[in-house]
A and B are shown apart, each in its own frame.
Chain A
Amino acid sequence: DGGITQSPKYLFRKEGQNVTLSCEQNLNHDAMYWYRQDPGQGLRLIYYSQIVNDFQKGDIAEGYSVSREKKESFPLTVTSAQKNPTAFYLCASTRQSSGNTIYFGEGSWLTVV
Chain B
Amino acid sequence: KNQVEQSPQSLIILEGKNCTLQCNYTVSPFSNLRWYKQDTGRGPVSLTIMTFSENTKSNGRYTATLDADTKQSSLHITASQLSDSASYICVVGYGNNRLAFGKGNQVVVIP
List chain A positions with a Cβ less than 8 A from chain B.
4, 6, 31, 35, 40-45, 50, 88, 90, 92, 96, 98-99, 101-107, 109
A-B contact pairs, 14 of them (CB 8 A): A4-B43, A35-B101, A40-B103, A42-B101, A96-B97, A98-B31, A99-B31, A99-B32, A99-B49, A99-B93, A102-B91, A103-B46, A105-B43, A107-B42
Give the B interface residue count (CB, 8 A).
Answer: 23
Residues of chain B contacted by A99 (CB below 8 angstroms): 31-32, 49, 51, 93
The residue in chain A whose Cβ has the minimal distance to the Cβ of B6 is: A42
Contact A43 B32 (CB under 8 A): no
- Asked whether B110 is an interface residue with its Cβ less than 8 Å from the other chain, the reply is no
A45 and B46 in contact (CB under 8 A), knowing A99-B31, A99-B93?
no
CA of A102 to CA of B4 in the docked complex: distance in angstroms? Answer: 18
- Asked whether B45 is an interface residue with its Cβ less than 8 Å from the other chain, the reply is yes
CB proximity of A33 to chain B, nearest CB, Å: 8
Known contacts A99-B49, A99-B93; 20 additional CB pairs below 8 A are: A6-B43, A31-B97, A41-B103, A42-B102, A42-B104, A43-B101, A44-B101, A45-B99, A96-B97, A98-B31, A98-B32, A102-B34, A102-B46, A102-B91, A103-B46, A104-B36, A104-B45, A106-B42, A106-B43, A107-B42
CB proximity of A66 to chain B, nearest CB, Å: 17
Contact A104 B49 (CB under 8 A): no
- Asked whether B2 is an interface residue with its Cβ less than 8 Å from the other chain, the reply is yes
